[in-house]
Structure formats: structure tokens, C-alpha cells
Amino acid sequence: MRKSFTFILFCCCFQWLFAQNTPSQDSISRVATIKNQEEGTTIQFFPETPALEQIAGAPKAFYSYYWEFDDGSFSKEENPKHSYKTPGNYEVKLWATNNYDTGKPPSSRPKKITVSKTDASLKDEASMTEDFSLQRNREPMPEEDMVLIVSYKNYLNYTANGKLYLFYNEQKYKADNFNIEDIRTYHNEKHLAKTDFVYTNNIDNSEYTLLASAENELLNLKTKPQDSTIKTNLPLTLEASKAYYRNYEQFEFNNMEPNEERNLFFTLKTPPEMLKDTSAIISVRGVYVPDANFDNHKVKDMEMEIVTSHDPNKMSSNSTFMNYRLVRHKTLKYKIKFQNNGEGPARTIRLETDIPDMLDKSTIEVTDMYPKCEICPKEEVQYSCLDTTFTDTQAIFTFKNIYLPGSEQKNVKVYDSTKGFVTYNIKFAKDFHKQKTKSRTAIIFDKNEPIITNYSTTRFVPGISIGAKVGYNMFSDLINSESYFLGATISPYKSYRWYWQVELLNSFHSYNDKTKITDEFVRGTQDLEFLQRTTTNSSYKNVDWEIPVLMRYNLNNYIGLGAGVQGMFTLSEKQTQDILIEQFEGNTDDYLINSAEAKNEYKEAFSNFRAGLLFEVTAGFARIGPSIGARYVLNFKDDYNYLQLYAIWKF
């Protein structure tokens, strides 16, 4: 019996220990496996992916795919077919992205394949719709890798040697958003060392010079993302790009035939310290110089939204952090992205977008969209168009008579074709405050239930306002007091409701102390006693430093209140004593027999520290500009309560 009990106890303990060491489901890494099958000279690839973990309330979860075939070509199909031109060993790579899924994207190990059956007559199929493009396999997520594809085509009618530039990590963000982990080239592109740029011959230098404003040119570049027009001032483009981005890579390519297409592949790692704001838009820039002998070039900006999960329905802005001093005439840019995840095409898509009060709905300008269509006229039409209407708090963008395929629709192989977007610019209203804003969009496909996006936020960096302050201190308990001061204040720029303020005030204070009279009986010659009276009058001339720290609250644009604490100490003090000594015969002051006067001076520094509470009210321009105020300081030391009247101008 005892042995049976011991055995059962041992089994229970063993099972408990085994359970403690069994990894939980969350800690098991998910893996996507590459499968392939030969079909003559064509190879069919299949992904084996782990089960998806559906986000509650989101559309049906699904995978999107990105393949690299190790010969300079790629595919975004789920089950791509690929033919190789030359036999050999290849290493195929797969990136699977889990959309509407709570877990991390599955990892995938490259698969080495040996190709023996090829088609010597195989020719590259033209796939590029533009001469220069930037693509990515997924949106950037902290601590997750992504692939950037730089595609370029020789649109010249002769064999060319040129250059490529890739700029990344915008200067306005303190931390890097990307680290380049791997670069894959397939056409002998040469990765050049990062030296000073060597400029080529200008075809037309009449419009630009090196003295032109790089800032203005940069703004032009940023307002036209994916701009495919030919530019002619390469030095200005490169300098403007270096001013906007912290890092860059440059490449040299050779012997590119007319109409030939090539791809460069970059694996980008997002470090832990990257920007975490999921409503922010970040970007990379490519510059394509098709012929290194000339300055003709093309520029592409690819904008991306940081995500915490791969949700194709998203709202973002290019102005998540703004300087309030500089936004008066600033135009904000918003982007709304959506994807049709249905089993059939969407004919009408309605985007109901919140517009914060501080923005002016009447200034909305749609700058780009997909599906591409015209802006709807006032009357009803049968062709495809985008209609914009307004409510008190929203702008409503409606795609009418369009065709956007669904990701679950039959024969839809490219998931990117099921995605759409609207970008629009909007300006600030005439009167707006320094407040954080939040916007989000309800996306409605045909008559389905709305899908709600994330919040896109805008915030103002604190900004510093320096103020000049002068005034007069009234000490009611001091005699002949005169106190003038001047100083400076520091507080947030254009503060709204609650805000802090720190001051340093230098005051010049003169006053008299109360007259002190002391009587004593002194025995003189012949043992006679007389009365001696000493009268002391003291005057002070001080230089004081006041250091108030307070919280203020603006009731409106013109009235503000404040309360806080204050420390004061005497930087230098000069005390003058006038002493009168009188002697009277007998025990009364009836008969003056002698008098004498004396003067003493004392100097002291860094003394008389005093602390207290303060309360104040201001009237005028409460945020920026001139105002007047009254402050009462309740000191913890007797006779030092005072009323302060002042004028202040905040810059």
C-alpha cells in the first residue's frame, strides 16, 4: 500500500514538473514552410502556414505573401509559378504576413532548390508600369523585418550606365526607424562607399543653380510622392535629400539594355527604439540616374505607416508632432487605407472620417486615391467618381460606381489589387488651440457593417515661450518701501488651459525699518544717576532675486489665473543705521544735558531666504503678447507679504 502511494505521488510530481517545462502556445514560434513542385520547365511554389489567430471584431484573418526566387525576380502571389533561365542552385525566400491576426508573422527558412530544366528561349516579361518604383512586402512594425524592392527600367534608347540612391531614416525623428540588414543584387550593381557626391553635367542649368533653396526643392519633392517626372538638377535633389534623411546608400549599375528591368532587394530591420506612433507616416526616398553622364534623374518617395498589427484598414497623418509656432499656414496630410476582404467586388465604398474642430473642413483637397477616378460633379453620374460631403464633425468620401475586387474572390491572385486609399490635405481653422487631436474613419463596403480604423493623432511639441516682465512690489507692512523689478519668464509656447511657468525676477528694494528706542539709567560721576536714550533708524537698499514656480490656467484668450510657490533671497544688502544718543538729568527726559550722533553701515550677500505662496490674475493676451497682472505673495516670514503689479510680454 505504501509503495503504491509513493509511486502515485512520484507520477503526480513528474507530471507537474513536465507541465511547468512545457512551453505555452504563445511562446512557440510560428513557421511558414516552402513547398515546391516541378511542372516541366516551370516550378510551382506553395506555402504551408500555421493557423491564424483571429482578431476579435476584425474582418476574416488571412495571409499575404512575398516570394524571392534568387534570380532578381519576385512575386506577391500565394502560389506562384516561376521559370528559371539558367540551371543551377537557387535559394528561394518567403515572407508571409498575417493580416487581422493577433500573433507575430511566421518565420520562414530559405529553401535551396536545384534547377536542371530550363527554357533557353525564355525572355523576361515586361512587368513595370513605371520606369522607377519602390515597393514593400508589408508595413513596418517595431522589431520586425520587412523587404524593400527598388525596381528600375532603362527608358533610354541606348545601353546605359547609371546610379541609384536610397535615402532612409528621417532627420526629424531622433531614433533610427530602419537598419539595413541585407542587400541583394543580381545584375552586378556596385555598392559604393559613402563619400561626397560627385556631380555630373547639367543638361539645362538655366532654371536652377546650387544657390537655389534646398528647402523649397525639398518641399516640392515631399508634396509629390512617387513623382515620375524627369528632374534636371541632381546636385540640388541630393543635397535636399541629405538634409531630410540621416542615412543613404548609393549604387552604380552598368550595361543596362534599353527597356531592361532590374530589381534591388533590401531587408530592413526595425530596431526597438524606432518610432512607436502608429498614426505617423514615415518614408524612404529613391533617386534613379539612368545615365551617370548627365543630371537627368527621377525621384520616388514611398510613405509607410507604422503598425502594431497588420491591419490593412488604417488612418495616418504626416504631422503627428508639430511645432505650434510654425503651423499657422501648415497643411496637414492624411491617408486612409482600406482593403476589400469579401468574396466579391465592392461597388460603393464610403469613408466617414472625423474632422477635429481645429481643422477647417472647407480646405480639404483630395490629392490622390485608388481606385483612380474623377471627383464627382454636383449632379448624379453613372461613371466612377469620388464624392465628398460634410456633416458638422465629419468628411465623407464615397467611391461610386467602382470595382474593387475582394481578397476572397475567385481568380484574385494579387492582394494589392484589393486595397485602396484616399489621401487629402487640410488646413487649420482661423482660431485653434494647442490641443491634441484624434481622428478615425468608419469604412463601409457597399451595405456591410462599418470597419473602424485606428485613431490618427496630432500632437504639439511643448515649445518654449520666453517672457519679459516688469512691475512694482507693494509691501504694506514696511515703511517708505519702494520696490521695482524686471525679469524673465519661461512657459510653454501658446499654452492652452493648464500650463506651468517659471520666473526669475530681479528686484531693487529700499525701505526703512521701524524706529527703535531704548532707555537705560546710567550712573555718572559723583555717583549721580541719569537717563540715557538711544534712538536707532535703519534703512535698507537690497537687490533681491525672486524665483516663482506656478501653475496657470487660461480661462479664455484674455483672462488667466495662477497659483504656486516662491522663493526669495537677498543677493546684496546694504544697511545704514543712524544712531542718536541723548542723556537727561535725573530719571526723566525733562532736562537734556548731552547728545551725540553716529552712523553705521553693514553689507551682506546671499542672505534672508524667504518662502511663500502666491496667487495671481492676468488680463490681456493670455498666451502670446502683452498683458497686465496682479499677484499677492503670502510669505511665511512676518512683514513680507506684498502685492505685485506687473506688465508682461510673452514671445
List pLDDT tens digits, range 514-561: 889 998 888 876 677 888 899 999 999 999 999 999 999 999 989 999
Return the residue matching grid coordinates 528647402: 215
* Domain ranges for the chain: 32-123, 128-202+213-308, 314-451, 464-650
Give the CA dihedral 441, 444, 445, 450, nearest 10 degrees: 100
* Confidence at residue 276, expressed as pLDDT on a 0 to 100 scale: 73
Q: Is residue 406 within 8 Å of 412, Cβ to Cβ?
A: yes
CATH superfamily of 128-202+213-308: ntegrin, alpha v. Chain A, domain 3 (2.60.40.1510)
Q: Is the pLDDT of residue 4 over 90?
A: no
* Confidence at residue 57, expressed as pLDDT on a 0 to 100 scale: 67
pLDDT interval class at 126 (50, 70, 90): low
pLDDT interval class at 424 (50, 70, 90): very high
199-213, 398-412, 507-521: least confidently modelled range: 199-213
Distance from C-alpha of 645 to C-alpha of 210, rounded to nearest angstrom? 55
Work out the angle at residue 357's Cα, subtended by the Cα atoms of residues 445 and 453, and round it to the nearest 5 degrees.
30
Q: Tell me the residue ranges of DSSP E strands in 446-558.
A: 451-452, 456-460, 464-474, 479-492, 498-512, 516-523, 529-554
* Confidence at residue 341, expressed as pLDDT on a 0 to 100 scale: 83
CATH code for 314-451?
A: 2.60.40.740
| The domain over range 32-123 is classified in CATH as 3.30.365.10 | no
The pLDDT mean for the chain works out to 86
The pLDDT of 32-40, averaged and rounded, is 93
Share of the chain above pLDDT 70, in %: 88
- Asked whether the domain spanning 314-451 has the same topology as the one spanning 32-123, the reply is yes
What Å distances lie between residue 525 and 75, 262, 585, 594, CA to CA?
122, 121, 12, 14
* Confidence at residue 59, expressed as pLDDT on a 0 to 100 scale: 76
Q: Is the pLDDT of residue 202 over 60?
A: no
Top mean-pLDDT range of 3-7, 119-123, 345-349, 593-597: 345-349
What Å distances lie between residue 421 and 332, 350, 372, 443, 562, CA to CA?
17, 11, 10, 11, 47
Distance from C-alpha of 178 to C-alpha of 173, rounded to nearest angstrom? 11
Q: Which amino acid is at 77?
A: E
Closest to 132 (Cα-Cα) out of 65, 222, 230: 230
Q: Is residue 201 within 8 Å of 297, Cβ to Cβ?
A: no
The string of pLDDT tens digits covering residues 456-509 is 888 888 889 999 999 999 998 899 999 999 999 999 998 888 999 999 999 999
Q: Tell me the residue ranges of DSSP E strands in 209-358.
A: 245-256, 261-269, 281-289, 298-305, 314-317, 321-322, 331-339, 349-354
Angle, in degrees to the nearest 10, between helices 214-222 and 234-244: 80
* Confidence at residue 216, expressed as pLDDT on a 0 to 100 scale: 35
Q: Which amino acid is at 539?
A: S
Closest to 602 (Cα-Cα) out of 544, 543, 541: 541
Question: 23: helix, coil or strand?
Answer: coil
Strands across the sheet containing 245-256: 190-192, 245-256, 160-170, 281-289, 298-305
Residues 6+ positions from 527 with CB-CB distance below 8 Å? none
Q: Is the pLDDT of residue 434 over 90?
A: no
* Confidence at residue 21, expressed as pLDDT on a 0 to 100 scale: 44
24-33, 228-237, 553-562: least confidently modelled range: 24-33
